[in-house]
Structure 1
Amino acid sequence: MTAPIGPVEFLLLGFEGNRFNGAIAPALGELVGNGLVRLLDVAIVIKDADGEAAILEMQELPEDVADAVKALAGEVRGLMSEADLMDVADNLEPQTTVAALLVEHIWATRFADAVRDAGGELLVSERIPGDLVDQARATLTAVAQLTEGN
């Protein structure tokens, strides 16, 4: 029997102008190294200026990028199919590269186990973009400042 898995999230990180260079690897490596996430699968998808799409294999990546990706990759690979990745590519603008990641949120596993052990279940999970939270906080701050002025 395999160990229970925590919540898994599909992340698609876009880089216009095909400027992906692996600079995100150290930050992702820190998350993996600290046991907060596990990288279950990773793929790089590129669409060139002519609109031709390709899924890049490790040997097609610059050496430093390939080394960083290999160091971060978990035991499970191949969860994203070629068909899934080509669907992603179909929606890309020309001259765009994406890093497609499947990330397990290890930090949430213990909490998820506690919820299940207590007879509970997850009913809703929704990611709220940081910029929306920032806007809401700015609005609340502005309202509070107006209220204090009265």
Structure 2
Amino acid sequence: MAVGPVEYLVVAFPGSRFRGDLLPELKRLVDGGVIHILDLTFVKRDDDGVVSFLELDSLDAEEAAMFADIDGEVGGLLSEEDLAVMAEEIPAGSSAALLVWENTWAAPMTAAVRAAGGVVVAHERVPEALVELDLQAIAREGALS
């Protein structure tokens, strides 16, 4: 079975409660077969910097209900060490969601690369801010021509 590239995202939110504003887009990506959720963990860092990790089933009923319609294999992929490293980036008095997903849209390309005898030797995500700067520079150069 071919597996697409796996990525993770840590999104921090000020305050101690998770909001559901991102969930419709996450659901659209899952339902459309674009991604498959492999792990979802929540982190809360209190004002004193003390960190607690919560799995989906540990959230209060209101918070957990926001995720009820999103399909995935939630839990177990991130180790305690992974979580501790990621939690270092979360400001005190904030909460965060740590999401690991497979890019299922890319699984057929992964299978094709393997079938052709290819080996991926590099795969990096280019930071959005750098791409925006480059595109702006190209647009400026085009305007000068």
Q: 1:59 Cα shift? A: 5.0
Per-residue CA deviations over 1:49-102 (Å, capped at 9, x if unaligned) read 111110124355353431233432423631112332133223422112111011
Name the CA distance, whole Å, in 2 between partners of 1:145 and 1:54.
51
1:15 aligns with 2:13: yes
| 62-71 or 98-107, larger mean C-alpha shift | 62-71
% identity of equivalent residues: 36
**Structure 1 unaligned residues grouped into runs of 5+:** none
Amino acid at match of 1:105: N
Normalising by structure 1, report the TM-score: 0.85
Structure in which a larger fraction of residues adopt helix: 1
**Structure 2 unaligned residues grouped into runs of 5+:** none
1:134 aligns with 2:108: no
| 80-89 or 41-50, larger mean C-alpha shift | 80-89
Name the CA distance, whole Å, in 1 between partners of 2:57 and 2:37.
19
1:42 aligns with 2:40: yes
1:111 to 93, 109, 112: 109
Name the CA distance, whole Å, in 2 between partners of 1:78 and 1:92.
21
The alignment's C-alpha RMSD in Å is: 2.0
Query: Does the C-alpha gap of structure 1 residues 19 and 144 become closer, same or farther in structure 2, counting only changes over 3 Å?
Result: farther
**C-alpha contact (below 8 Å) 2:6/2:100 kept by paired residues:** yes
Name the CA distance, whole Å, in 1 between partners of 2:108 and 2:62.
34
* 3-state SS of 2:133 partner: helix
Normalising by structure 2, report the TM-score: 0.87
What is the total number of aligned residue pairs between the two structures? Answer: 145
**C-alpha contact (below 8 Å) 1:43/1:100 kept by paired residues:** yes
Name the CA distance, whole Å, in 2 between partners of 1:100 and 1:86.
11
Q: 1:107 Cα shift? A: 0.2
- The answer for the alignment partner of 1:125 in structure 2 is 123
Amino acid at match of 1:44: F
**C-alpha contact (below 8 Å) 2:30/2:37 kept by paired residues:** yes
* 3-state SS of 1:6 partner: coil
